[in-house]
Amino acid sequence: MSEDVTLSILRFRPEVDREPHFQTYTVPYREDWVVLDALNHIKDHLDATLSYRWSCHMAICGSCGMMINGEPKLACHAFLRDYRHDGIRIEPLDHFPIERDLVIVMDSFMEKLSSVKPFVIAKEEKPLSDGEHLQSPLQLMAFKQYTLCINCLLCYAACPQCGLKEDFVGPAALALAHRYNLDSRDDGNDQRADVVASNEGVWECTFVGACSEVCPKHVDPAAAIQQAKISASLDWFKAWLLPGAHR
């Protein structure tokens, strides 16, 4: 017996549409299909003009983030069988401009990401001949979960602060800043502080916690940001109270 499932997809084609509108498609239902499979079926067999991003189909590349029934999800990580009885409504990620159909403009995120200097800033450069920068398992454990981010931007779509304050650096970038600040090989805390400890940094976060709830890799950016708030506060007190400390 063949069954069908209907998807309602928000379309926006800038060359013909003044504003986005929903379009429905009916695709075959398969027990083992995720939403991304349904989109690929539409693209291949029903409507080649539908645009969306995807790559790996295994929750690693972070490309196929979209709103599925109002919840930020990876399309490759959301099975049709979990949604079909309520109907399936698909929209581009919230809080980002729509480039086309389900494709968002992520330029602002790329700028925020680079602003936190997401790389190891070594205490001192040393020649290759001196060997590796060694790190113990315990030192790795301090930040490992924050390395698992795939930049899928589900956290930005879940965070109301990202929608209300466009300058907010946001969960993923701040979690990554915290990841490098916690790294025993890194000495870049002061260089990141201008962004991380600013009004647009951790202090714009009101601890809604939605970022951590929707994260497909269990990075828990909300925890990283709260810890960064405590670190930033301690740094501020040290700078004002300790003699000789720089401000």
Partner 1 sequence: MSRRPYIRKLERNWWLGQRRYVVYMVRELTSLFIGLYCVLLVVGLFRLAQGRAAWDGFLAALSSPPGVLLQLVCLAFATYHSLTWFALTPKAMPLMVRGEPVPAMAIVGMHYGAWAVVSLIVLMAAGI
- The span from the CA of 88 to the CA of 31, in Å, is 15
- In the complex, what is the shortest distance from the CB of residue 73 to partner 1, in angstroms, rounded to a whole number? 14
Q: Rule CB under 8 A: is residue 183 a binding residue for partner 1? A: no
Q: Are 33 and 49 in contact (CB under 8 A)?
A: no
- The span from the CA of 126 to the CA of 132, in Å, is 9
Q: SS3 string of 150-218?
A: CCCCHHHHHCHHHHHCCCCCCHHHHHHHHHHHCCCCECCHHHHHHHHCCCCCHHHCCCCCHHHHHCCCC
Residue with smaller CB distance to partner 1, 61 or 223: 223
Residue with smaller CB distance to partner 1, 77 or 95: 95
Among 187, 217, 226, 235, which residue interacts with partner 1 (rule: CB under 8 A)?
226
Among 19, 31, 32, 44, which residue interacts with partner 1 (rule: CB under 8 A)?
19
- The span from the CA of 90 to the CA of 79, in Å, is 13
Q: Rule CB under 8 A: is residue 38 a binding residue for partner 1? A: no
Among 29, 61, 89, 163, which residue interacts with partner 1 (rule: CB under 8 A)?
163
Reduced to 3 states, what is the DSSP secondary structure of residue 97? coil
Q: Rule CB under 8 A: is residue 223 a binding residue for partner 1? A: yes
- In the complex, what is the shortest distance from the CB of residue 230 to partner 1, in angstroms, rounded to a whole number? 7
Element (DSSP H or E) covering residue 111: helix 107-115
- In the complex, what is the shortest distance from the CB of residue 140 to partner 1, in angstroms, rounded to a whole number? 12
- In the complex, what is the shortest distance from the CB of residue 173 to partner 1, in angstroms, rounded to a whole number? 18
Sign for the CA dihedral angle at 34, 40, 46, 48 comes to: positive
Among 6, 14, 119, 245, which residue interacts with partner 1 (rule: CB under 8 A)?
14
Q: Find the binding residues for partner 1 in span 84-143 (CB under 8 A).
A: 94-95, 97-99, 105, 138, 141-142
Q: Rule CB under 8 A: is residue 237 a binding residue for partner 1? A: no
Sequence-separated (6 or more) residues with CB below 8 Å from residue 207: 222, 225, 226
Among 60, 120, 121, 208, which residue interacts with partner 1 (rule: CB under 8 A)?
208
Q: At what angle do helices 221-241 and 171-181 cross, to 10 degrees?
A: 60
- In the complex, what is the shortest distance from the CB of residue 105 to partner 1, in angstroms, rounded to a whole number? 5
- Given the rule CB under 8 A, which of 25-33, 79-87, 209-217, 238-246 is the region that contacts partner 1? 209-217
Residue with smaller CB distance to partner 1, 27 or 182: 182
Q: How far is CA 150 from the centre of its chain?
A: 7
The strand pairing partners of 89, in sequence order, are 8
| Residue ranges binding partner 1 (CB under 8 A) | 12, 14-15, 19-20, 70, 94-95, 97-99, 105, 138, 141-142, 160, 163-164, 206-210, 212-213, 220, 222-223, 226-227, 229-230
